[in-house]
Structure 1
Amino acid sequence: MKILLRAIYPYAFLLLYLILPFDNYVRALPNILLIVLVAAFPFVITKKDIQKVKTIPVLILLGFILFLLGNALIQGRLETDINIIKKVLIAFGLLLLYFPVRNVDKLKKIVIFSSLATILFSVINVIIVYNTSEELLFKSYPLLIESLLIDRIYLGFLSVLSILICFDFLRPKFHPENRYYVVYIIINLLFLILIVSKVALLILLAVLITRQFYGKTKKVRILVTVIALTVMVFGYLQFNKEIVQQDFLKSSQNTETNFFKKTLTWDIRTIVWHCAGVISEETGLNLFGIGFKETKDRLADCYEEKIVDPQKKNRFVSDRYNTHNQYFDFYLSTGLIGLILFVGFLVYLIVSNRKVFFATALVVVLIAYCFMENIFHRQLGAYYAGLILILLITENSRNLNKTIKESEEA
């Protein structure tokens, strides 16, 4: 029985991440696979796998989760906050469930295939909608977004991860597989441009700058860094100019139909970040937070009070937009202690993996997306956060083993 479970277990885990973007079409299957993994876990885990739990990053993350649970219980808000805490537990649980799998390269390739399948499905769907709709697709922002398989920010998340993994698989010298990974990188990049995922493209630009700190040929790297920074500064100045010219709190700006000007949803983020700042000032020094539900309630109250335009106000209040920033969310909901634990975990990962570009780039991606999205407010976000944790912890273990081996040889 154990032999059969050990044979099936890795494929069930890989299948979970392959079909994850298709959750809306096979909604029951990810949950079934998760149940299978949890049920089989006690039979496939070994003593060697259990030792992986004792690593520093896993213990820091475990401490963060215990704080979330203990803080919510002591403050009397466990019942209302458990829904978000469960998402953090899912990410941590996936990390634990991965330990018996071992072969991380197969998981990386599954992410690539999942991204390609998602792109293919989305493009086909966009073509179908384009051929059946009387509206011009690229002038109707909602129509294009609804044609995509999953939310655009998570499509960007998946494509960025796929590009990084493909780059990590590239060999320094000629290898037949290199051509495929280059093609995969180009496909993902073209798709990000097609859907105008500016967040993902800016994050890729940040990753490109990070890459310049690794390797030789310094003159070329300095030139690339200067060009990339120039593009980022230009983009920031353009965005800042738009913010100054447009008062998001007063006007709904519903007359604008140009797709390319409405793809970044700064309208939403500018307002929710403003309200998050207002709540932060009202609460003062916040050690233990006000809870996830209370944070959303106060945000809704802020929208009601601050937004002047009636149509926009109704939309924000009825949709109860969250902070769209994981750091804001953890600070307001779990307090300064919760934020320090979470940031401390990220800092440890980036410091311990600083010599390896792939791992450093993964931390950069996670940090950047946490600035733009509450990844633990969506189950899909929790799954992909778990994926990054798996890749990072695996890379961290590799680096640790390599260091120990080098010290023994010396």
Structure 2
Amino acid sequence: MITKKHPLFIFLITTVIALIILGVYIHKHTTLLNSNVNLIQITLKNQVNKKVIPLVYIVKGNDEAIDFKKPYLFQKIIDSTYLAVLDTSSKVRKIRLYFNNPTEDLYLYDIVIKTKNEIKSVKLNDINLVGSLSLKKTDDKYSINANGKHSFIELPKTFIYTSDFKNIYQLVFPTLILLVLMVLVIKALKPIDIGPFTITSLTLSFLILSVFLPAPIYNIALILIAVLHLRNISWLAIKAQKINLIILGFFMLYMINNIFSDEGFKEISTIDRFLPFLVLAAVLPSIADRKYLSLFPISAFVLGFGFLLTSVFEVYIYQNFEFLSFDYFSKYLHPVYFSYLLFFSICFIDHNYKGKSKYFLEFVLLVFLIFSGSKMVFLLSLIVVFINLLKNKKTALLILPLVIIVILFSPLKSRFDEILKKEDFAILNENPIENSNDARVNGLTLRLLLWRESIATMSGLDYVFGKGVTKETNKILENRLVNLGLVNHKSFNPHNQYVDTFWRTGIIGLILLILIPVYSLVIGIKRKDKLIIQFSLFMFVVMFSESIFGRVNGVYFFATVILILMNSNKVNENSHIRN
């Protein structure tokens, strides 16, 4: 049990932790300069054709995105050294080098950034590589091999300047408000009991708290829970709940499909991503305890405040509120997957809390959800709150400020506006699409195109056994998207778990997939278990708009939650309540 502490003590501890998080983030992601970047210098392999030299694009001033309208060209100065002069009328924030012409053995050995009085050498091993680029190490020196079209490198850090910190109060004031909000949340979340501290409590807690942390933390958690609970695995516990067998069958189908593919065990990326299904469905039935699910809201608040704190800093630097939205808000974590965590946390709090604490915590989570920008999850969360409104009119006090935030927060408004433009659907009839950056390719139309192109690759026995689960199947869709003109979206999955599973494993896999939420829903109704009902319906719905198992976070999250819910009884209704 977390003991009670004085609010001032909590505020001081929270402030120290927040400053450490912000300091680490600034150190890792930014470079502080005294004057604007005006030159970028690269060293290439000798005798390079001018056509294969990369183009330079920048993020400048208060913009959040790359300015593709103005490329900067490199000019040869001596031997294999090239220099590009940048526009200094606005502050240079980020730099990308684009390689648009394929060639063999184009090696980039050095990148140097210059200002009026500073020279910064960029570490090649820290650079983000996208496309057909590879990093090569020779004699303690790195080089980048650029041998493919539509590839780019992005310098790892954002440039900030001493002049950005003139009106520091604009950063200090919202940070103080944020710290006070953190303290209030901590006070509301105090009575959390996950004891006694045993191997089970520690490994389960670590697993849940690691699900949305960066790799390889969640992999370490999975290994620990598998190794330390190997003796706890019980066939009786597994077969006691059919959901365990369904999930194991789902994994086995993917593994068999992989084994009998042309690649066999040479390419097992999908099986590697799906491994949590096997481990968790074997281990959790014997050790599942629903009280540990209370750690998901803890994770949601910690991540949410961490994202918000760093986003407030970026809003201050850029003077642009776009940095409170979607990818800019959730940083390393895909915002849609973060929204899944937020939804479950809202449901958990709605089920286990009462009084002012409940409405306050739900309000904070819904604000995080607005910043995450997931339209469907936001609407589903509002439905949960609205149902509560039917029982308690005080919930209206929660909805009113949310409506105001949604109206004022333009990034979320624009995401809803894009699905209401009927004229955008005309792009579905174009083949090829002339401009891959066409504004009509939005969240909805892109999904419709991805679903259509995925199903179009199937024929004959594919409808029974699927096209396969390896990367070769991905390449089939990739080629169709490139031919269609969606070059910028060629690496996308179908963005629909039903379509994705049917495409890869056929009707057999689709049936097993549908059984996971449907069977859970049936059991939830029989038990009158509100949390299972809500989560099963949520899982069933979101699979229409996202390939939820396309990222390992989704596999860990949905497998962990559904297996713990189905293999444990309801927590005592008063165990986590604050009046």
Tell me if structure 2 keeps the 8 A contact 1:125–1:147: no
**Residue identity opposite 2:482 in structure 1:** E
**Residue 385 of structure 1 pairs with residue 571 of structure 2:** no
Tell me if structure 2 keeps the 8 A contact 1:115–1:159: yes
Aligned match of 2:376: 199
Find the aligned partners of 2:434 and 2:372 in 1 and give their Cα distance: 26
Unaligned stretches of 5+ in structure 1? 172-177, 218-234, 308-312, 400-410
Instruction: Tell me: CA distance 1:185–1:78, structure 2 relative to 1, closer, same or farther (3 Å).
Output: farther
Residue deviations 1:313-368 (CA, integer Å, cap 9, x gap): 33123xx1111111111111101111112213332222222243221111111112
**Residue 83 of structure 1 pairs with residue 269 of structure 2:** yes
Aligned match of 1:334: 505
**Cα drift, residue 92 of structure 1:** 3.9
Aligned match of 2:340: 157
Tell me if structure 2 keeps the 8 A contact 1:327–1:339: yes
Instruction: Tell me: CA distance 1:316–1:197, structure 2 relative to 1, closer, same or farther (3 Å).
Output: closer
**Cα drift, residue 180 of structure 1:** 2.4
Unaligned stretches of 5+ in structure 2? 1-195, 393-414, 572-579
Instruction: Tell me: CA distance 1:247–1:39, structure 2 relative to 1, closer, same or farther (3 Å).
Output: same
Residue deviations 1:370-410 (CA, integer Å, cap 9, x gap): 22222222111111122222243135x669xxxxxxxxxxx
Matches within 5 A, 1:124-203: 124-133=309-318, 136-138=320-322, 145=328, 148-170=331-353, 178-203=355-380
**Cα drift, residue 111 of structure 1:** 0.3
**Residue identity opposite 2:342 in structure 1:** S
**Cα drift, residue 147 of structure 1:** 5.5
Partner of residue 514 from structure 2, selected from 343, 347, 351: 343
Find the aligned partners of 1:85 and 1:132 in 2 and give their Cα distance: 42
Q: Highest Rg: 1 or 2? A: 2
Partner of residue 17 from structure 1, selected from 208, 225, 233: 208
Find the aligned partners of 2:426 and 2:379 in 1 and give their Cα distance: 22
Residue deviations 1:230-275 (CA, integer Å, cap 9, x gap): xxxxx9998354464552663658587xxxx99x733532331231
**Cα drift, residue 114 of structure 1:** 0.2
**Cα drift, residue 76 of structure 1:** 4.5
Task: Please give the secondary structure, in 1, of the residue aligned with 2:481.
Answer: helix
Task: Please give the secondary structure, in 2, of the residue aligned with 1:287.
Answer: helix
**Residue identity opposite 2:315 in structure 1:** Y
**Cα drift, residue 126 of structure 1:** 0.5
Find the aligned partners of 2:499 and 2:285 in 1 and give their Cα distance: 31
Larger RCO: Structure 1 or Structure 2 (Cα < 8 Å, ≥ 6 residues apart)? 1
Count of aligned residue pairs for this structure pair: 350
**Cα drift, residue 201 of structure 1:** 1.1
Task: Please give the secondary structure, in 2, of the residue aligned with 1:150.
Answer: coil
Find the aligned partners of 2:514 and 2:497 in 1 and give their Cα distance: 10
**Residue 359 of structure 1 pairs with residue 544 of structure 2:** no
Instruction: Tell me: CA distance 1:158–1:46, structure 2 relative to 1, closer, same or farther (3 Å).
Output: closer
Partner of residue 298 from structure 1, selected from 460, 476, 479: 476
**Cα drift, residue 169 of structure 1:** 0.5
Tell me if structure 2 keeps the 8 A contact 1:288–1:336: yes
Find the aligned partners of 2:479 and 2:460 in 1 and give their Cα distance: 14
Instruction: Tell me: CA distance 1:66–1:91, structure 2 relative to 1, closer, same or farther (3 Å).
Output: closer
Residue identity (%) = 20
**Residue identity opposite 2:314 in structure 1:** V
Tell me if structure 2 keeps the 8 A contact 1:84–1:376: no
Tell me if structure 1 keeps the 8 A contact 2:208–2:295: yes
Matches within 5 A, 1:5-404: 7-23=198-214, 27-43=215-231, 45=232, 50-79=236-265, 82-105=268-291, 107-133=292-318, 136-138=320-322, 145=328, 148-170=331-353, 178-205=355-382, 207=384, 239=419, 241-242=421-422, 244=424, 247=427, 250=433, 252=435, 265-280=443-458, 282=459, 286-292=463-469, 293-307=471-485, 313-317=486-490, 320-354=491-525, 355-394=528-567
Instruction: Tell me: CA distance 1:388–1:16, structure 2 relative to 1, closer, same or farther (3 Å).
Output: closer
Task: Please give the secondary structure, in 2, of the residue aligned with 1:22.
Answer: coil
Instruction: Tell me: CA distance 1:6–1:37, structure 2 relative to 1, closer, same or farther (3 Å).
Output: farther
**Cα drift, residue 81 of structure 1:** 6.2
**Cα drift, residue 22 of structure 1:** 2.7
Find the aligned partners of 1:347 and 1:28 in 2 and give their Cα distance: 32
**Residue identity opposite 1:193 in structure 2:** I
**Residue identity opposite 2:457 in structure 1:** I
Q: Which structure's residues are more often strand, by fraction?
A: 2
Aligned match of 1:220: none
Aligned match of 1:408: none
Instruction: Tell me: CA distance 1:167–1:59, structure 2 relative to 1, closer, same or farther (3 Å).
Output: same
**Cα root mean square deviation, aligned:** 3.7
**Residue identity opposite 2:270 in structure 1:** I
**Cα drift, residue 56 of structure 1:** 1.7
Tell me if structure 2 keeps the 8 A contact 1:10–1:101: no
Find the aligned partners of 2:273 and 2:302 in 1 and give their Cα distance: 25
Task: Please give the secondary structure, in 2, of the residue aligned with 1:377.
Answer: coil
Instruction: Tell me: CA distance 1:16–1:139, structure 2 relative to 1, closer, same or farther (3 Å).
Output: closer
Find the aligned partners of 2:379 and 2:263 in 1 and give their Cα distance: 37
Return the TM-score normalized by structure 1: 0.73
Residue deviations 1:110-154 (CA, integer Å, cap 9, x gap): 001000001100100111111222x62328978x52653511101
Instruction: Tell me: CA distance 1:122–1:57, structure 2 relative to 1, closer, same or farther (3 Å).
Output: same
Tell me if structure 2 keeps the 8 A contact 1:69–1:78: no
Task: Please give the secondary structure, in 1, of the residue aligned with 2:226.
Answer: helix
**Residue identity opposite 1:118 in structure 2:** L
Instruction: Tell me: CA distance 1:179–1:98, structure 2 relative to 1, closer, same or farther (3 Å).
Output: farther
Find the aligned partners of 2:260 and 2:347 in 1 and give their Cα distance: 41
Instruction: Tell me: CA distance 1:274–1:14, structure 2 relative to 1, closer, same or farther (3 Å).
Output: same
Find the aligned partners of 1:164 and 1:315 in 2 and give their Cα distance: 36
